[in-house]
Amino acid sequence: MNVHQTGGVARLGTDGLTVTDAVVTYPPERRGVLGTTAVAGVSVHVPPGQVLALLGPSGCGKSSLLRAVAGLEPLVAGTVAWDGSDLAGVPVHRRGFGLMFQDGQLFAHRSVAGNVEYGLQVQHLGREERAARVAQLLELVGLEGYGARSVATLSGGERQRVALARSLAPQPRLLLLDEPLSALDLNYQCHVMDLLTQETRDHGLTTLIVLHDLNIALQRSDEALLIRAGELAGHGRPDEVITAESLAQVYEVSARVETCSRGLAHILIDGLCAPAS
């Protein structure tokens, strides 16, 4: 039984992303080995212009859910729909969703600018228009003047920001981000989250973001989704989902939620839960 059965699921309306009973399995790698079920019947609705944080321990199926929404993993059961229309049979490149991979997956044979403008070339944008948009995006992620550089010369954090700029460039209607903050220092973690909040507000971008930092999820997301072993363990307002009880259940850590000086909720981890007697 789910611990928190709150608001989001019951919300009516079909605008935005609707995932219904999604199941993703991976076939066995060789004979005699069982396949694995990564996502076991997850349903979620994300209205346009919202930031949904995906939380859960490593290997719980967060990335698989993102990949299924992008169309990179076939659904064994369930549906993914946008604005009420089922996306089954719509190939990846026609979905208008952006996905930023965990490790960036930059094109090593293209320059920084060449990476960022890739999606714009697909849209047949003119050369000047592209250059302007690339410059604007690079500035947005704090990499102005990096356009001509080879991606091999970048640091981990710089690569991640190029990947972000690249996935923002074609102005996707839905942005899927797989741990976009993992290689960033504190300054850029704030910077990138500000940027996403701003894009969401200005362009009505809908965002699904896999996060490991619970405090960022608490403070910056509209809704949070807690996943454990491929199943929904909580969905709703972040402060309702991220609680001492749910963390004890999903992560097996004992934690306290406090309110910091600016009035924001803040999580403190004490340590592993005591083993059940």
Partner 1 sequence: MTLTDAARRRDRWSVAGTGVGWGIATAVPVLFLAVFFVWPVVALVVKGFAPDGALDLSPFVDVLTKPRTWRLVGLTLAQAVAGTAVSLLVGVPTAYVLYRLRFRGRGVVRAWVTVPFVLPTVVVGVAFRAVLGEGGPLGFLGLDQSFVAIVAALAFFNVAVVVRTVGGMWERLDPRAEQAARTLGAGPLRVLRTVTLPRLVPALTSAASVVFLFCATAFGVVLVLGGRRFGTIETEIYRQTVQLLDLPTAAVLSVLQLVVIVVALAVAARARRHRENALELAAAEQAAHRVARGDLPVVGLVAAFVLLLHVLPIATLVVRSLRVPGGGWGPGNYTALGTRGQRDALTATVWEAGAASLRTALMATLIALVVGGLVSLVLSRSPRARAARRARGLLDGVVMLPLGVSAVTVGFGFLLTMDHPFGLPTDLRTTGLLIPVAQAVVAVPLVVRTLLPVLRAIDPRLRQAAAVLGASPGRVLGTVDWPIAARAAGLAIGFAFAASLGEFGATSFLVRPGSTTLPVVIYQLLGRPGAQNYGMAMAASVVLAVVTASVMLVAERLRGYGTREF
CB of 45 to partner 1, least distance (A): 20
Provide, rounded to whole angstroms, the least separation between the CB of residue 145 and partner 1: 23
Tell the smallest beta-carbon distance from residue 170 to partner 1 (Å): 6
**Rounded Cα–Cα distance for residues 173 and 136 (Å):** 19
Q: Segment 85-114, which members bind partner 1 (CB under 8 A)?
A: 85, 89-94, 96-99, 101, 105, 107-110
Q: Is 146 in the site for partner 1 (CB under 8 A)?
A: no
Nearest distance in Å: CB 202, partner 1: 21
70 binds partner 1, rule: CB under 8 A: yes
Cα 84 from chain centroid?
21
The total number of residues written for the chain in this structure: 277
Half-sphere exposure of 76 (CA within 13 A, CB side): 15
Sign (positive or negative) of CA dihedral 148, 151, 152, 155? positive
Cβ 236 to partner 1 shortest distance, Å: 28
Contact indicator for 224, 200 with CB cutoff of 8 Å: no
What 3-state DSSP class applies to 218? helix
Q: Between 61 and 236, whose beta carbon lies closer to partner 1? A: 61
**Minimum distance from CB of 72 to partner 1 (Å)?**
5
**By C-beta, is 75 or 214 nearer to partner 1?**
75
260 touching partner 1, by CB under 8 A: no
Task: Enumerate the β-bridge partners of residue 236.
Answer: 224
- Identify which of residues 11 and 94 has a Cβ nearer to partner 1 in the complex: 94
Beta-carbon contacts of residue 31 (< 8 Å; ≥ 6 apart): none
Which of 24, 242 has the CB closer to partner 1? Answer: 24
Nearest alpha-carbon partner for 173 in 69, 268, 62, 31 = 69
Q: Write b or e for each residue in 135-149: b if 16 or more Cβ atoms lie within 10 A of its Cβ, otherwise e.
A: eebbebbbbeebbee
* Per-residue contact flags (x/-) with partner 1 for residues 9 to 48, judged by CB under 8 A: ------------------x---------------------
Q: Which residues bind partner 1 (CB under 8 A)?
A: 27, 70, 72, 74, 85, 89-94, 96-99, 101, 105, 107-110, 118-119, 121-123, 166-167, 169-170
